[in-house]
Amino acid sequence: MYETIRLLSSPEFYAVLLTAAAVFGTVLTFVMPMFAGDKLNSRLKSVASRREELRLKSREAMLAAERTNVRKSSKGFLSNLAARIDLEKLMDAPATKSKLAMAGLRGEGPYLTFMFVRLFGPFILAGLGALYSFVLVQSDLSTTTMFGIPVAAFALGYYLPTILIQNIIEKRQQSIKRAFPDALDLLLICVESGMSIEAAFGRVTGEVGTQSPELAEEMGLTTAELSFLPDRALAYENLALRTDLPGVKAVSTSLIQAERYGTPVGTALRVMAEENRSMRMQAAEKKAAALPAQLTVPMIVFFLPVLFMVILGPAAMRFFDSQ
């Protein structure tokens, strides 16, 4: 124990640790781009699978018969276990599916994986924490710490999946929010040039993919739903629910009203494009206005001490030399 404390208090240990962290970060910076896949192609593949799913559902509705000609995957172990213990009621299935859709995780696989991680993850981490505190290092810990580690591990396992999903949702929303005004301008140009709204969505999907693969995926899904869903308004509502952004919701509402009352789609898109550009400019101005307040603490901590040293240093040195 004494050797461990002496090791942790030595400057050489922290120098080696910082060096190892720097080397690891450098290697990771060069290696990660090699393993990064094509995000746009992977997202467009999910759009294609969603299009195929909608096509199959549309065929089933038209035939109004048994599902004899539709390919269905056999239920796996997780699906059977979820049906036995009724996970959908236990884990609030509609809200969970909505959150996963907002994060871009669609299908039965991510849904079942998230539910089982959320259900069994706390118990697994609590068991590992209890093994660590009661078996491995029990002599070096107090009673409070021994019982606190499993409780903290249980809480971590319960909240960590939700926190990770929320983080993915926020990053996805930021990407969509940055690219949506430009996509709306392109959509307006396509509609005013004579394209239908489905063709305009499809064209903009390919154009906006380099700027925001997330927005390209959402617009591709909307294109598929406009083609196969019986109610076109439902496609716009699904777009608003998947993104959960005020600008996208306003555009979806305008398109629904244009479909319902027969008003020109180009007029509605023009108004929404101006509003989204104004919202983006207001967000930029808000960040610029908050910058001085955010720089106050760094200036006090880093700039003022150095400034005082530069100004008062020579005077202090002359004072001590004169003594």
Q: What is the mean pLDDT of the chain?
A: 78
Query: Which of the residue ranges 8-17, 66-75, 133-142, 180-189 would you say has the lowest mean pLDDT?
Result: 66-75
Are 257 and 263 spatial neighbours (Cβ–Cβ below 8 Å)?
yes
- Residue 48 pLDDT > 80: no
What is the pTM (predicted TM-score) of this model? 0.65
3-class SS letters over the chain = CHHHHHHHCCHHHHHHHHHHHHHHHHHHHHHHHHHCCCHHHHHHHHHHHHHHHHHHHHHHHHHCCCCCCCCCCCCCHHHHHHHHHCHHHHCCHHHHHHHHHHCCCCCHHHHHHHHHHHHHHHHHHHHHHHHHHHHHCHHHCCHHHHHHHHHHHHHHHHHHHHHHHHHHHHHHHHHHHHHHHHHHHHHHHHHHCCCCHHHHHHHHHHHHCCCCHHHHHHHHHHHHHHHHCCCHHHHHHHHHHHHCCHHHHHHHHHHHHHHHHCCCHHHHHHHHHHHHHHHHHHHHHHHHHHHHHHHHHHHHHHHHHHHHHHHHHHHHHHHHHHC
Are 250 and 109 spatial neighbours (Cβ–Cβ below 8 Å)?
no
| Residue 167 pLDDT | 92
Summarize pLDDT for 228-251 with one digit per residue, the tens: 888 888 888 988 888 888 888 888
Work out whether the CA dihedral 308, 310, 312, 316 comes out positive or negative: positive
Q: In angstroms, rounded to a whole number, what is the distance separating the alpha carbons of residues 57 and 60?
A: 5
- Residue 80 pLDDT > 70: no
Rg (CA), the chain: 28
Q: In angstroms, rounded to a whole number, what is the distance separating the alpha carbons of residues 265 and 273?
A: 12
Average pLDDT over residues 85-113: 74
